[in-house]
Amino acid sequence: MRSRPDWKRGRWSENAETRLIHQGLRGFQRAAGDSFTYWRFDYSASEVHPVYDEGAGAGKAFYGAWQVPALHVDHNEAANLEPRDSGLYIMDSLTVLCEFDQLTRVGLTEVDLKHGVFQRDRITYDNIVFGVKHVDIRGQIRRRDIIVTISAEQIMNDELVNDPIFRDYLVDPSFDNEYTQSTFAGPLASAPKGLPHGAIYHDRS
């Protein structure tokens, strides 16, 4: 259909429509939504093995944590977390539906989403640590991102055992591996359970 020369604009501009949509979404979130905790991986302060993606030298560093409002969080619990005979195990998965504007408050930008900068970030929810795998745009107004989904997978005990900041999230405390007697004894061992906005914490896993 061709546009008419005298075609009238609607009552609302793109800016007005976007603002009203966000107001409605935030109203829904306050009434029936959820929230999750987001941890950003600090690339500049981390030292990672070039092959095995494990901490080396100063180790991995995270900053946060941010409490992020969500429209809905779907925690899919695995039936059995015990390793199979093949050595594999089933993990919990997490799917988060939230506003793009809320996600940008943790520092993620549109460019970060396109280039997968989030892939080493972590989420904590239901006392479980999840590794972020995907962030997908689900709704737009004139290419303005409105809704995003975050897909994440549980990080198991054998990967958390050397993460002092996530120590309290161990499913089985026996995996603690005598934390206070380990090489983390000292300043790292007495680190607080949560960190203020912008704090940096090193992970030598």
Report pLDDT digits (tens) over 49-91: 777 776 666 667 788 788 999 999 999 987 765 656 666 777 8
Please write the tens of the pLDDT for every residue from 158-179.
Answer: 777 666 677 778 766 555 544 4
User: Does 89 fall in a domain?
Assistant: yes
pLDDT (0 to 100) of residue 195: 40
pLDDT (0 to 100) of residue 118: 87
Number of folded domains that form the chain: 1
Sign for the CA dihedral angle at 124, 118, 69, 25 comes to negative
Q: Which residues are within 8 A (CB) of 148 and not within 5 positions of it... i.e. 6 or more apart?
A: 97, 98, 99, 100, 103, 113, 135, 136, 137, 138
User: Does 168 fall in a domain?
Assistant: yes
Determine the structural domain holding residue 124 and report its residue range.
33-203
Q: How many CA atoms lie within 13 A of 194 on its CB side?
A: 10
User: Does 26 fall in a domain?
Assistant: no
User: Does 194 fall in a domain?
Assistant: yes
Sign for the CA dihedral angle at 93, 94, 100, 102 comes to negative
3-class DSSP state for residue 201? strand
Residue 41 has pLDDT above 70, yes or no: yes
| Band (205; pLDDT cuts 50, 70, 90) | very low
- Residue positions counted in the chain: 205
Q: Minimal CA–CA distance to 93: which of 66, 128, 67?
A: 128
Please write the tens of the pLDDT for every residue from 115-169.
Answer: 788 888 999 999 999 999 998 888 777 777 788 899 999 988 877 766 667 777 8
User: Does 24 fall in a domain?
Assistant: no
Name the CA dihedral angle for 162, 164, 165, 166, rounded to a multiple of 10 degrees: 50
pTM: 0.71
pLDDT (0 to 100) of residue 201: 36
User: Does 16 fall in a domain?
Assistant: no
User: Does 75 fall in a domain?
Assistant: yes
Residue 196 has pLDDT above 60, yes or no: no
User: Does 48 fall in a domain?
Assistant: yes
